[in-house]
Structure 1
Amino acid sequence: MTASSSSATSADSDSAGSGVSDVVTAANAFIATLDSDQQSSVLLDFTQANATAWSNLPCGSTCRVGIELSSLSDTQLTAAKAVIKAATGTGTDTGDDQVTQILAADDYLGETATGYGSGNYYLAFLGTPSTSGTWQLHFGGHHLALNLTYKDGAVEGSTPYFVGVEPTSWTGDDGTSYAPLSGMYDGMKAMVDSLTTDELSEAKLSESFSDVLLGPDDDGAFPSTKEGLKVSELTDDQQALVLAAIKPWVDVADDDTAASVLSTYKSELDETYISYSGSTDLSAQGDYVRIDGPGVWIEFVCQDGVVFSSQIHYHTVYRDHNTDYGGEFTFS
């Protein structure tokens, strides 16, 4: 596979922005349900301060901008969820399905501990939703930060995307089984399990990790030197597993954008590195896997449980070296 310095933007494909008009239509329909005070909470300037106002913590409005879902009427909430559905990818455990399951996880936590629940999530539009100009769909809460940046009718960036879950799986009262990060776990596990003893030795990091390295407030802090095992050293089958491992994160965006971005990352595989810390079991505190390319940056880490202390839970972040926040801001 050949290396490429291109960035993972939807501008690489004429079809990548084909669903943006649906997102704009859904956004305007939601805005139309709001009174003037609510609109002032939702429609904000696309500034660096607003765009980077996200966290993995259940910290409410102290670390987020936008309108809280719990403040919405049933009609408004349905319209808000329609925006997320239009903007994110389809398919099991990806896109809208994953976001829906993360909110369900918070409701599940709320049955045991205070401060959790799907109502404690915030939605904002940074800039004016439109098929022209630049704006961002900004949505998140505990264990979720969704940042989709649009420019002139196309997705300019689908990162940062932070997602976590506690517990990693559970069964609802109605018998429904949930495991929102199972596709991410399975992809990373298959990738590292394919490595030989020598390859594992080369991929092993000297550092240990209790959380993701590039989480909230760590914008632009990519390591200056890539570490681990270069994907060009792997067999074709192993390289296919690396690309398959990347896909569940890319699938957070609409399907056309996700396909375009994944194509870019495929062209960059030869210059991409994979690495890990802890063990490759991905079952204990500090087990950690990373994919770092010219564009793609993905981290997946296991942590001890907070509410369910006898279990582990997952944190993961997806960034792009070139298109975080649509590449609109410079970070020192």
Structure 2
Amino acid sequence: MPHPTRLAALLLVTCLSVFGHEDHPPGEEMADAATAWLQSLDGTQRQAAVYPLADEERENWHFVPKARNGVPLKEMTPAQRKLARDLIAAGLSQRGLLTTDAIIALEDVLFAMEGTARRDRGLYHFTIFGAPDRLGTWGWRIEGHHLSVNFLIVEGTRISATPMFFGSNPAEVRIAHAHKGRRALAAEEDLGRALMLSFNPEQRSTALISTRAPADIITGNDRQALLAAPSGLSYAQMNHAQQAQLRALTEVYAGRLRAELAAAELQKIADRGWNKVHFAWAGGLERGDAHYYRIHSPDFVIEYDNTQNGANHIHTTWRDFRGDFGRDLLKEHHLESHAQDKAKH
């Protein structure tokens, strides 16, 4: 279990990432940043970057090293890469942006370990869906190995940010390297284990769904996330301190987003009831043991898995059962537009 000082520091980082200040509405900032990036591209790049909003490519997501569509960092000029990073910064918090940087930097570590061409920090692709507009409906994505960030903006104000995948390979850099000792997803691991270790024997027995962790996150890269009813220990079965720890752990994931979006996600959970949320654990409890946990309600699931490469390879994801890729927001948008058209006639 993390030292109390370490745990307090992690909780402080979480709070700062969620309650930070942004100057302009997120829809406006993302539209402006996307427009600036698109305007910097040449014709060939722009053709590769832009897809219609309704194109199936928008739901073609993954988190393994594979060929992708869009414009990769390696094919951008330094100025274009800066504008692309501004787009990430428009959607994520400072901590989320720095974590993105850390995940991308791990490609250098993997190249040092493996020497294969697929380990390349330039293979992170940016894609725009539709036309960026401060008042419009459009989307954007950055995706590469261990990173998939998917945004849909409806009428400039309603925003979906799932599925969102952050991974770390290695979870801790242990080879002789400039990044030795770095842990890109330390809070996700440490706070999850600390919560499980805080439970009394009866609570722990309920939370433990298997002594063996699954080989990967269960929802995978399915376009529609499906998972059985929540299992494990419910929020209502935890004491006040444990409930605070579960909220803090959830805030780690929400806090990857800029403050307004993180607060909106957490408010949705509160509105639907924290008592509907369960925490489930599988695998060992010692650091170095293969392990898995999830935070699960009827509305969403956060999954964490660390089993590969000697339990030094983390996958994490946030899925919304109704709202991935903004499906719920688009449905509302289409219904409202249809109603307005009927009213005109």
TM-score by length of structure 2 reads 0.81
The residue aligned with 1:277 is 282
The verdict on how the C-alpha distance between 1:311 and 1:177 changes in structure 2, with shifts beyond 3 A counting, is same
Partner Cα distance (2:144, 2:313) in 1: 16
The residue aligned with 1:85 is 89
The residue aligned with 2:46 is 39
CA deviations on 1:153-190 (whole Å, 9 max, x unpaired) are: 22521111111111112389657863210121122122
- Of structures 1 and 2, the larger Rg is shown by 2
> Runs (4+) of structure 1 moved beyond 4 Å?
171-177
Partner Cα distance (2:169, 2:179) in 1: 18
Partner Cα distance (1:241, 1:327) in 2: 31
Selected match of 1:27 from 22, 34, 39: 34
Selected match of 1:202 from 203, 206, 220: 206
How far 1:208 moved relative to its partner? 4.4
The verdict on how the C-alpha distance between 1:140 and 1:134 changes in structure 2, with shifts beyond 3 A counting, is same
Partner Cα distance (1:282, 1:293) in 2: 27
How far 1:209 moved relative to its partner? 0.7
How far 1:224 moved relative to its partner? 3.5
The residue aligned with 1:188 is 192
Within a 5 Å distance, the mapping from 1:1-332 to structure 2 comes to: 18-47=25-54, 49-61=56-68, 65-91=69-95, 95-113=96-114, 114=116, 115-170=118-173, 178-206=182-210, 208-216=213-221, 218-267=222-271, 268-281=273-286, 283-285=288-290, 287-305=291-309, 312-328=312-328
How far 1:266 moved relative to its partner? 3.3
How far 1:222 moved relative to its partner? 2.1
The 10-residue stretch of structure 1 (310-319 or 256-265) with the greater mean CA deviation from structure 2: 310-319
Q: Is the 8 A contact 1:131 1:153 kept in 2?
A: yes
Unaligned runs of 5+ in 2: 1-21, 332-345
Partner Cα distance (2:319, 2:179) in 1: 35
Partner Cα distance (2:111, 2:322) in 1: 37
Unaligned runs of 5+ in 1: 1-14
Partner Cα distance (1:66, 1:165) in 2: 23
CA deviations on 1:120-144 (whole Å, 9 max, x unpaired) are: 1111011211222322221111111
Larger RCO, structure (CA 8 Å, separation 6 or more): 1
Partner amino acid for 1:164? G
Q: Is the 8 A contact 1:148 1:253 kept in 2?
A: no
CA deviations on 1:2-55 (whole Å, 9 max, x unpaired) are: xxxxxxxxxxxxx99812212211111111111112111111122362122221
Q: Is the 8 A contact 1:148 1:155 kept in 2?
A: no
Q: Is the 8 A contact 1:170 1:178 kept in 2?
A: yes
Partner Cα distance (2:199, 2:23) in 1: 34
Q: Is the 8 A contact 1:199 1:229 kept in 2?
A: yes
The number of aligned residues is 304
Partner amino acid for 1:278? G
SS in 2 for 1:120: coil
Q: Please, what is the CA RMSD of the aligned residues? A: 2.3
Identity within the alignment, %: 24
The verdict on how the C-alpha distance between 1:277 and 1:48 changes in structure 2, with shifts beyond 3 A counting, is farther
Q: Which has the higher helix share?
A: 2
The residue aligned with 1:7 is none
Q: Is the 8 A contact 1:297 1:319 kept in 2?
A: yes
Partner Cα distance (1:174, 1:204) in 2: 38
TM-score by length of structure 1 reads 0.85
Q: Is the 8 A contact 2:219 2:227 kept in 1?
A: no
